[in-house]
Copies of this chain bind each other. A is one copy, B any other.
Amino acid sequence: MKPINILEKFTHINSHWHPHQVATVDDMQVILARIKGEFVWHKHEEEDELFQVIQGTLYMQFRDRTEVVHEGELIVVPKGVEHCPSTKDGEDVLLLLFEQKSTSHTGQIQHELTKTDYPKI
Number of copies: 2
Is A113 an interface residue, CB under 8 A from the partner?
Answer: no
A49 interface hit (Cβ, 8 Å):
yes
Which bucket holds chain A's interface residue count?
20 to 34
* Residues of chain B contacted by A28 (CB below 8 angstroms): 25-26, 28, 98
**Which residue of chain B has its CB nearest to the CB of A49?**
B25
CB distance from A104 to the nearest CB of B (A): 15
Contact B24 A76 (CB under 8 A): yes
Measured CB to CB, the closest approach of chain B to A92, in angstroms, equals 17
Interface residues of A (CB under 8 A from B): 1-7, 23-26, 28, 30, 47-50, 62, 67-70, 72-79, 81, 98-100
